[in-house]
């Protein structure tokens, strides 16, 4: 059976990690908004192509994103959707175009999210990712892969992390309520090891 899974969660909740593991486990597509837009950036919609907005440095409008996501889901024999919907209009559109088997919300305390986001370090040379607590390099401040310097990106500071979370909560709470009202939302405790969280998600998907 092909699974159609939506994974929701704040920045730092582990959506990307868990989505990839789910896609691998069930042999389905891992569909992200960013990947779908890049793969279909030349696709003509009545509002123009995604490329025209991306090249101008503008946000791609909802109607264009909706069409791109719909095309990606139509092409997939089962999927894990990650990074969409970002607002209520998109959530309502998604409910119209597909029947979801499971909508999983990764529940993680805000202070834990801030710790996860601010602890990330990125190699200034090769782009490899580390975390001061969860995936530290062998030598502090030095990349295991190439020996480059590990830096904290501007969007990983505490101030920026809290701003990102505030925007997420504001936009996504109506999305959560939409799927809760539909009776398909399952909340999963995301404060554990990645393997433990994955087992909880798998249990929710298969129940």
Report yes or no on 96 lying in a domain: yes
Q: For residues 161 and 114, is the Cβ–Cβ distance under 8 A?
A: yes
Closest CA to 33 of 65, 1, 6, 80: 65
Q: How far apart are CA 46 and CA 48, in angstroms?
A: 6
Q: Binding site annotation covers 128?
A: no
Enumerate the active-site residues: 15, 86, 120, 153, 164
- Contact (Cβ atoms closer than 8 angstroms) between residue 97 and residue 31: no
Residue 207: pLDDT band (50, 70, 90) is confident
- Beta 129-131 vs 120-123: how paired, if at all? antiparallel
> How many domains in the chain?
1
Residue 155 has pLDDT above 70, yes or no: yes
Look at residue 42 and tell me if it is in a domain: no
**200 lies in which domain range?**
4-28+77-109+158-206
pLDDT bin (cut points 50, 70, 90) of residue 1 is low
pTM of the full predicted structure?
0.86
To the question of whether residue 126 is assigned a binding role by annotation, the answer is yes
CATH code, 23: 3.40.50.300
For residue 175, the model assigns a pLDDT of 96
Q: What is the mean pLDDT of residues 110-126?
A: 93
Structural domain includes residue 39: no
The verdict on whether residue 9 carries a ligand-binding annotation is no
Q: What is the model's pLDDT at position 127?
A: 87
Cβ contact 83:33 at 8 Å: yes
Q: Give the containing element (helix H, strand E) for 172.
A: helix 158-181
**Is 20 marked within a binding site?**
no
Confirm whether 122 is domain-assigned.
no
Residue 16 annotated as lining a ligand binding site: yes
90 assigned ligand-binding residue: yes
Reported as a single tens digit per residue, the pLDDT across 75-113 is 889 999 999 999 999 999 999 999 999 999 999 999 999
pLDDT at 75: 87
């Amino acid at each position: 059976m092909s699974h159609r899974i939506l994974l929701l969660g704040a920045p730092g909740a582990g959506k990307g990690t868990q989505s990839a593991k789910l896609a691998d486990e069930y042999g389905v597509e891992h569909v992200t908004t960013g990947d779908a837009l890049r793969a279909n950036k030349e696709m003509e919609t009545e509002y123009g192509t995604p490329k025209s907005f991306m090249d101008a440095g503008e946000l791609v409008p909802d109607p264009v994103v909706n069409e791109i996501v719909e095309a990606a889901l139509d092409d997939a024999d089962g999927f894990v959707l990650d990074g969409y919907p970002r607002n209520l209009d998109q959530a309502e559109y998604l409910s119209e175009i597909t029947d979801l088997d499971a909508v999983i919300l990764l529940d993680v305390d805000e202070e834990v999210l801030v710790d996860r986001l601010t602890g990330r370090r990125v190699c200034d040379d090769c782009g490899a990712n580390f975390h001061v607590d969860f995936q530290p390099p062998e030598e502090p401040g030095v990349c295991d892969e190439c020996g480059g310097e590990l830096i904290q990106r501007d969007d990983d500071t505490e101030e920026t992390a809290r701003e990102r979370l505030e925007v997420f909560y504001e936009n996504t709470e109506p999305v959560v309520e939409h799927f809760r009202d539909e009776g398909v939302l399952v909340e999963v405790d995301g404060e554990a090891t990645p393997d433990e969280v994955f087992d909880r998600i798998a249990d929710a998907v298969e129940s």
